Structure 1
């Protein structure tokens, strides 16, 4: 019933669960488990010793989380909310018209009852979406007031406000989840009634019959779109993460580090060193190298093993003469790869170390 979501947005979001993300929530029973599908796929790939290394898997899990956060914010933006409400109300208006003109039809199964239940789900979904949108607007307004110093809130007030937000989120989440379960059961009932004696219904009650068929078909189409979008995003994150970063860089608001802050990070030049090692009786060449800092009078050097001489973002080995960027957490990447990421999100994609808080924050997972 709802158009598929596209993960393209970037605005700060409250630290709460995504309760009634609009548009695909007629098929929320499918879209909710698909959220984080890329992360789960990557963990399985790591546990089964597939091609991605541990560092590359962690980078892709971070990217998948970033996409989910931005998709959630885009899904709750005002234009999408308006489109979602109009889309669902259009179903209700069409239903009223069809039921009015088909008053003389007498189907052998209670199709009118099923149609009313279907539209009731639409109205419940609209109510949840509007309530969630208003709650988020109130949350964002409170944050803006706090940042601007217009209001002063003590610690106890913060705790009370957080509890109130969590309470509202929990209620909306339970309502939306119940509506999704009911939607799934109701779809099965409608499918059974429509297909039990399709030919007779098409002849005796053509308008009600085709309205039910259209509703059922819309649900199937959007479930397929949900699965397709989730699979494409998962494949892109696994196999072509630079493409995802480029799309986010082009379409999303750049809330990460500025060019000046990025340029303060040290740059290195990679020089390849070929070594030989004996593995299972065979002599193999390993391509490690040395990172030499650029733009300083006394450049520091760092030796990289063959396993370390790879960019965790694009999965390409460092080539001789390649310029690298090293973050304060000691993680290094291709300069072009990491610069685009930092303009979107000022944290290390491997350990989530914030480069803007170098003096205040330590990296827990630095290697």
Structure 2
């Protein structure tokens, strides 16, 4: 060993007496030909904790609900996750940002003269955003009204209100479908007008051209959302789960609910009604999906926040083990 390192060893000999042999190895200087050991990769425990945090995150739980709602074979899947308040607030912010950017860009680009009526396409897109904003307000009002209703179905007034809500829901769905069809057609027209070399107008209207490309990119991401969600939950998550030995799809539901959470859920005694009745209860399943037994007269039934109903004893026992719906996996509110 060189004299330069021997002097350093002598100066540190006194302090190394009180240190264990393992720690003294780390504190001893190395020779010039000695290389530091490479840092170890993240431990499995760290990756496990990271996977647990991701699986318990609200955005991951929401994506699982969306995937189950869109791909499950059952027709009664509980509440639509896209009608939740959090998602509607996100839609509101996105629409307001788009409307503000489009309006300001149109005002700043008055002197531009594109070869093809690109300004017409942007104006039509802006009108569609305004209609979507009105539709979003109607969805919020409908959600607020449905949350404020009670859970008794024997009253005639309640039955009339249920029929009115059903008609409003069908009307909202038709308007939403029509608006989605308009945006799909407008998206195709925008691609033709912007990317066709015969109608190229970047040099004549650079601001409008950049705005059109930005809007088309945003719509392309929105249309590819189901495919990206499929890749995430059906390809990426299973690979990570098999590598770690930890099921991320049910990890957020491995904690039971408290007695206060369970008792706060609405419950009532079941009442047999005619299958031809227009009551909302006639559309529900006639049997409990936990015990697979049909509901009997005056049996206690409990309703979860996702609108699914089960026997009170069955679902209480389930919720004490896993605090989520047995069908749609929606977690109970804290």
On the 8 A contact 1:88/1:126 being kept in 2, the answer is: yes
Whole-Å separation in 2 of the counterparts to 1:160 and 1:234? 43
Identify the residue that residue 216 of structure 1 maps to in structure 2: 216
Find the counterpart in structure 1 of residue 101 from structure 2. 94
1:165 is matched with 165
CA distance in structure 1 between the aligned counterparts of 2:196 and 2:121, rounded to whole angstroms: 14
Q: How does 1:9-20 map to 2 (within 5 A)?
A: none
The reply on whether 1:125 has 2:132 as its aligned counterpart is yes
The separation in 2 between residues aligned to 1:211 and 1:181, in whole angstroms, is 22
* Aligned counterparts of 2:181 and 2:109: Cα–Cα separation in 1: 29
Contact 2:262–2:319 (CA<8 Å) still a contact in 1? no
Written as runs of structure 1 = structure 2, the 5 A alignment for 1:10-159 is: 38-39=71-72, 69=78, 72-73=80-81, 75-143=82-150, 146=151, 154-159=154-159
Q: What number of residue pairs does the alignment pair up?
A: 215
Mapped to 2, the partners of 1:184 and 1:114 lie a distance apart of 13
1:344 to 323, 326, 333: 323
Inter-partner Cα distance in structure 2 for 1:215 and 1:256: 49
TM-score (norm: length of structure 2): 0.53
In structure 1, the residue corresponding to 2:250 is in which secondary structure? helix
**Which of the pair is proportionally richer in strand?**
1
Give the aligned partner of residue 188 of structure 2. Answer: 188
What TM-score results when the alignment is normalised by the length of structure 1?
0.49
SS of the equivalent of 2:61 reads: coil
1:118-175 alpha-carbon deviations (Å, 9 max, x no partner): 11221222222221121111111112xx57xxxxx75322321111011110111111
Helix, strand or coil: the match of 1:201? coil
Could you tell me how far apart the structure 1 residues matched to 2:163 and 2:94 are?
33
Please give the secondary structure, in 2, of the residue aligned with 1:176: helix
CA deviation profile, 1:308-327 (whole Å, cap 9, x unmatched): xxxxxxxxxxxxxxxxxxx8
Q: How does 1:237-248 map to 2 (within 5 A)?
A: 242-248=247-253
Q: Distance in 1 between matches of 2:188 and 2:132?
A: 19
Shift of 1:39: 3.4
| Aligned match of 2:306 | none
* Distance across 2 between alignment mates of 1:86 and 1:126: 10
Q: Shift of the alpha carbon at 1:87?
A: 1.3
Q: Tell me, in whole angstroms, the C-alpha distance in 2 between the residues paired with 1:162 and 1:134.
A: 15
Aligned to 1:230: 230
Q: Distance in 2 between matches of 1:200 and 1:221?
A: 23
Q: Which runs of 5+ in 2 are unaligned?
A: 1-57, 264-289, 294-316, 329-334
CA shift in 2, pair 1:258/1:206, >3 Å: closer
Preserved contact between residue 107 and residue 205 of structure 1 (Cα < 8 Å): yes
SS in 2 for 1:204: coil
Instruction: Check the 8 A contact 1:257/1:345 in 2, yes or no.
Output: no
| Aligned CA distance change for structure 1 residues 118 and 231 (closer, same or farther; 3 Å) | same
- Unaligned runs of 5+ residues in structure 1 are 10-30, 41-60, 148-152, 261-326, 331-337, 350-367
CA positional deviation for 1:83: 2.6
- RMSD between aligned residues: 4.1
CA contact under 8 A between 1:118 and 1:186: conserved in structure 2? yes
Equivalent residue, structure 1, for 2:19? none
Using the alignment, how far apart are the partners of 2:260 and 2:247 within structure 1? Answer: 18
Larger radius of gyration: 2
Aligned to 1:49: none
Contact 2:257 2:323 in 1 (8 A): yes
